[in-house]
Amino acid sequence: LLRGRVLGQATIHMAQMKSEADAVEVGKILGGLPGMVDVHVDLERRSARIRYRRTKIAIEEIMRALHAAGF
């Protein structure tokens, strides 16, 4: 019960992620954010599945970091 409140999860779609280098960069960006528990980048689907600690970071901050990097 508590785990659902503490851990957030999301699938983020990024049309701008077009190459393996982009996928690696997205993985580095997301993996470097505080509170990230799990990151799975899927180039074919142009998306990233994430799990994160809501007590450490908000989804809005995650989206801002990706947007700032051009994704």
Q: Give 4-62 pLDDT, tens digit per residue.
A: 679 999 999 999 999 999 999 999 999 999 999 999 999 999 999 999 999 999 999 99
pLDDT of residue 39: 98
Q: What is the DSSP letter of 19?
A: S
Q: What is the pTM of this model?
A: 0.89
Task: Give dist(CA 69, CA 71) in Å, integer.
Answer: 6
pLDDT of residue 5: 78
Measure CA 15 to chain center. 14
